[in-house]
Structures are given as structure tokens and as C-alpha cells.
Amino acid sequence: MSATGQVKRVSVPEIAARKGKEPVSMLTAYTVSVARLLDPHVDCLLVGDSLGMVLYGMDSTLPVTVDMMIAHGAAVVRGSSHACVVVDMPWASYQESPQQAFRNAARILAETGCQAVKLEGGEEMADTVDFLVRRGIPVVGHVGLTPQAVNALGGYKARGRSEAEQQKILGDARAISEAGAFAIVVEGVVEPLGRLVTEQVGAVTIGIGASAACDGQVLVSDDMLGLFGGFTPKFVKRYADIGPLVAEAAKAYTDDVRARRFPGPEHVFGVKKPT
């Protein structure tokens, strides 16, 4: 709470200071209504490019655009007042050069009002992270299973099962942390590797399918709430199963409409008698 009585938004330095302390809670949000519900309870809201699959029915995150991320990022910022809001940089919006990354990251920050951007990649993105951070753009990294590299990785499979792959992911995390990322999402890795990454990097680690030893955790809200049908990843815990309730409500509504039970007298407007 600020001196004016308004809720104070969690800042990037506050998240960075949580290394090795109270774990950071992060959930995805893509809309004003969901942001309002989650905001009082979490430290960070991630506007993930997972919205391509969750909201738009895409087969991967690759078709998501900067304009889409800005539209949803701005909605989440408007719907929140407490959580630190992080917006994903979509595929092909930052890989070409640090300069390209800066132009798009600056636009995302300016047009959404978010506190930080997130990008995927390891050692190959360290120069870009450094370029952004030196110019005042807070960055969250993302290593391990990186969905934007699904074609190169051959699918959404757990990473770090071989010694060589473990060393590669460790090196990626160190490089991104040393380049200035204040936090790193560690996704879809074997548990000992998630623990090791957390021990060896200075950035706050946010696990998703990694380890309880990470400095925080993130889940896709629609997975956690049972709203996103189909395959449920091993690392998702269902805290509610809202999907069937929505379907039941839609059926009850349709039954009432067809039986002319809705709208009832209490739902329509009468004609006022002249005075």
C-alpha cells in the first residue's frame, strides 16, 4: 500500500530480491476479467504467448504477433494493480538482432504499461539480453523446454535427460543471468537440473515442470483451472475444474431459452405509466 492508500504494484527489484527467499507466485493472464481475479493473490502475471494456443486455438505459439501481445498485455495491465506484469516477446520479434529486440521490447513496454518482457533462448541471446537491460528494459529469460523452438527440439518433451543436454541448459541459464536477466523461467527439465540451475545462477528461477527448489513457480491459468481441454501436462496441478461448470451453465441456459423460461418477468423492462 502506498502513502496515498493505493495498492503498490510489485516491482522488478522486489522480485529480484526474492532469490532464495519467499517463493514467487506467477500465473498467466490474457484478459481484464482474469487479471482482476488473479491479481490480489499472485506476485506476477505473465501474458504468455501461450495465448496463441489457449485463446486462439493455434497449434503452437509461432503465429503469435507483437500486436497480439500488446493488445492482451495492455488488457492485463488495466485489469491489475498489484502484480508485476511480464509480457512475452513472440517468435521472430527479437532473434534477428539486439536492435530489433529493443524496438519491439520498447514498444511492448510503452503500449502496455507492463514492467518487463520475457524472451526465450540461452547463450545465443545473452548479447540481446545485455543490450536490453543496459537500455532500461527489464528482462525475464526462458531456458529448458522453449516452446518457440518446438520445431528444432522435435516436440514438447522433457529436457536435460543426458549429461550433455544438462550442461547446455546450465550454460544457457548462466549466460542469461550474467547478461542481466532478473528472472529466468526454467521449463520442462528433469528435477535435479531445475534444482541445480537455481543453485548456480543469480537470477530468480521460475519453475514450470522443473523443481520445487526453484525460486518461484508459474502455471498456465487455464490448465490450472481446467478450462483448456485436451492434453494436460504432467507438471500441471488442477486447483479447480471449471470447464464442466461452464458447459453445464451453457446447457442450462439453452434449455431455459428453448423452453421460454428465460427471460422471465424479472429480466425484462416494463412500460412506465405516465405521471
Residue 3 counted as domain residue: no
- Is residue 16 within 8 A of residue 183, CB to CB? The reply is yes
Residue 229 has pLDDT above 80, yes or no: no
Higher confidence at residue 242 or residue 231? 242
pLDDT of residue 272: 84
Count H helices, E strands: the chain? 11, 8
What is the pLDDT confidence band of residue 6, given thresholds at 50, 70 and 90?
Answer: low
What is the pLDDT confidence band of residue 1, given thresholds at 50, 70 and 90?
Answer: low
Residue 250 counted as domain residue: no
Query: In whole angstroms, what is the distance from residue 221 CA to residue 238 CA?
Result: 10
Number of domains in the chain: 1
Is 43 labeled as ligand-binding?
A: no
- Please give the positions annotated as active site: 187
Residue 269 counted as domain residue: no
Residue 153 counted as domain residue: yes
Residue 237 counted as domain residue: yes
Residue 156 has pLDDT above 90, yes or no: no
Is 118 labeled as ligand-binding?
A: yes
Residue 267 counted as domain residue: no
Query: In whole angstroms, what is the distance from residue 59 CA to residue 6 CA?
Result: 41
Residue 273 counted as domain residue: no
Cα-to-chain-centroid distance, residue 259? 42
pLDDT of residue 198: 98
pLDDT of residue 155: 72
Query: In whole angstroms, what is the distance from residue 120 CA to residue 143 CA?
Result: 6
Residue 76 counted as domain residue: yes
Burial code (b: 16+ CB inside 10 Å, e: under 16) for 244-275 equals eeeeeeeeeeeeeeeeeeeeeeeeeeeeeeee
Residue 275 has pLDDT above 80, yes or no: no
Tell me the mean pLDDT in the region 157-184. 96
Residue 250 has pLDDT above 60, yes or no: yes
pLDDT digits (tens, 9 = 90+) for 46-88: 999 999 999 999 999 999 999 999 999 999 999 999 999 999 9
- Is residue 76 within 8 A of residue 32, CB to CB? The reply is yes
Which structural domain, as residue segments, surrounds residue 183? 12-241
- Give the CATH number of the domain where residue 206 resides: 3.20.20.60
Is 215 labeled as ligand-binding?
A: no
Residue 167 has pLDDT above 80, yes or no: yes
